[in-house]
Amino acid sequence: MQEQKAQQELAFIKKVMEDSKNILVEDGKGFIFWGILITVGLVYSYFAVISGGQKTLRWFWLALIAFGWLYTIIVETRQAKKRRISTFAGKIMGAIWISCGISMTLFGFIGPLAGAYSTIYINAALSFVLAIGYFVTGVVYRMKWITLLSIGWWAGGIVIFFWRDLSTLLVMAGMMIFFQLIPGILLYKKYKKESAAVSDERV
């Protein structure tokens, strides 16, 4: 019984690894979009607090995140219709980032609303969730440099936890630029290059 279970687990792992060979690398567009969106939100929040306009920040972030989710759902729905092949590895990646996104949304809104923790700790919590997403993404796509980005997110989260200052908003903005936006641009360039190579092979 145990031997059969072990064989099933190995077959499952093999299926994921084989699928990962057949999918193009992540196009990076989602990373770029959310990287820009959150960076703008963080910088705006920093200056809003300095100028005394922090009372409207909750509604600002609610609108910002709602727009991000709406845009993402529309884009992903359209892309899903265009895809001819849906691999198991691709489904895993989609499920991981959707679950990470939901978790981060709940951390950002529900926790502070329930009085579980101060808003100063939100960015640290989000950093840890992002670290999980990047770590798994790098493993599935077999891209070590993406996996290593998770170290930056974990380390940054620890720093923010101990710093506990308004300037951590700018620290998080910097992390979004270096650990998400720039990697997203690199992934997009790699995606375009691989897409062109695949098109040439078909011709």
pLDDT tens string, the chain, 203 residues long: the values are 566 666 666 565 555 555 554 455 568 899 999 999 999 999 999 999 999 888 899 999 999 999 999 999 999 888 877 765 566 767 788 899 999 999 999 999 999 999 999 999 999 999 999 999 999 999 888 889 999 999 999 999 999 999 989 999 999 999 999 999 999 999 999 888 877 765 555 55
Q: What's the pLDDT at 99?
A: 96
The C-alpha R_g of the chain, in whole angstroms, comes to 19
Would you state the pLDDT for residue 13?
A: 56
Q: Give the predicted TM-score (pTM) of the model.
A: 0.85
